Amino acid sequence: MSIGIVVESATLAVVVGLGICAIYAIFEMRKAWRDQREQFVRAISTIDDFHKLHPELMSLIKRIESDEHALQSIAIQIEGAVAALKDTAISSIKFAGDRQIATIETFRDHLDSQEQELEKILQLLSKNSGGIPHAQPTTTPQANPEPKADKGEYLRLRKEIVTGDPNVRFAVLKDWITLNWLAILRRAAGAWNTAADLIANVPSYLEPEAEVHDGCVLIVGTRGHAERLAVPIHKTDASPELHLWFETADKPDRGRHVPAVLIRSNDHFQLVSKGSAHEVVSGRTHI
């Protein structure tokens, strides 16, 4: 009798244990199902969000494509502007080159006229100096025109003679100013800032040096020579000392204006030879 009770009790315990295991398994399965359900819900929510963002993404892609086309259009416009600017620059450079060529031609004509004046001066100097070769006599173009190569060589020789000796340069400079003093006065009557502006037309191979003394007399010399030439550019009555440098003739020679010759001594100028000048009043010359 007791054995049957024991067996029943053992059987009941096994059944209860199995029931407990079954209940535990059910709870674990429900927990796993809940986790799967939550993940599924999140996945569905993510898909919904993606569907909501899809129009915005498509709009963004379209804007990017539109911006790309706009950038391409801008790049094409920039290329066109650069090409137009290049053409304009080439045209401007060509125009400036043509103007420069015209200016050079004008300057060459001016140099030719100065060379003719220098030739006359050297002809005068060659009569008084044995070291200067005599210029060839001028002939008419119909008789025997001088070859260009010989003339160029002769001009080069003359420049070498003038530039090599300060005394010769000073003599040529004095004759040049005597012949071209009106050009200096015209410059003085116009707008100028420095003494170099007043002697801008003096040939460079004469190596001129200039300063303005007391605001009314242009002092001109050449490198390596102590003496200086003085030319009045304004009225000199305000300075008795300067007035002594020039002698105004009652009937001045219309074609000549002899500059005074000075020499610097202790920051002062001493008179070597007096100049004969036309009367200068208020920046104008009476002839």
Do 182 and 277 reside in the same domain of the chain? yes
Structural domain includes residue 94: yes
Structural domain includes residue 198: yes
Do 176 and 266 reside in the same domain of the chain? yes
Span between the terminal Cα atoms of the chain, in Å: 172
CB 281 within 8 A of CB 235: yes
Lowest mean pLDDT among 127-131, 152-156, 232-236, 282-286: 282-286
Residue 134 has pLDDT above 60, yes or no: no
Q: What is the pLDDT of residue 213?
A: 86
pTM summary value: 0.44
Q: How many residues does the chain have?
A: 287
Do 281 and 197 reside in the same domain of the chain? yes
Please state whether beta strands 208-213 and 227-232 pair in parallel, antiparallel, or not at all (unpaired).
unpaired
Q: Which residue has the higher pLDDT, 155 or 185?
A: 185
Do 91 and 176 reside in the same domain of the chain? no
Instruction: Give residue-wise pLDDT tens across range 246-271.
Output: 876 554 445 567 899 999 888 788 89
**Spatial distance between the Cα atoms of 33 and 39, rounded to a whole number of angstroms:** 10
Domain boundary at 55, 81, 105, which? 105
- What value does the mean pLDDT take over residues 206-220? 89
Q: What is the pLDDT of residue 277?
A: 62
Q: What is the pLDDT of residue 133?
A: 46
Q: Which residue has the higher pLDDT, 15 or 252?
A: 15
**Spatial distance between the Cα atoms of 161 and 225, rounded to a whole number of angstroms:** 15
Do 174 and 280 reside in the same domain of the chain? yes
Q: What is the pLDDT of residue 240?
A: 64
- What value does the mean pLDDT take over residues 41-47? 83
What is the span of the domain harbouring residue 178?
166-286
Do 79 and 170 reside in the same domain of the chain? no
Looking at the structure of the chain, the number of domains it has is 2
Lowest mean pLDDT among 110-119, 150-159, 198-207, 262-271: 150-159
Q: What is the pLDDT of residue 287?
A: 33
- The model's confidence at residue 219, banded by pLDDT at 50, 70 and 90, is very high
Domain boundary at 58, 77, 105, which? 105
Do 88 and 174 reside in the same domain of the chain? no
Structural domain includes residue 252: yes
Q: What is the pLDDT of residue 155?
A: 57
Structural domain includes residue 127: no
Structural domain includes residue 138: no
- The token duo for 11 is 């059987």
Structural domain includes residue 76: yes
CB 278 within 8 A of CB 231: no
Mean pLDDT of the chain: 76
Structural domain includes residue 69: yes
Do 174 and 259 reside in the same domain of the chain? yes
Structural domain includes residue 130: no
Q: How far is CA 137 from the centre of its chain?
A: 47
Domain boundary at 105, 123, 156, which? 105
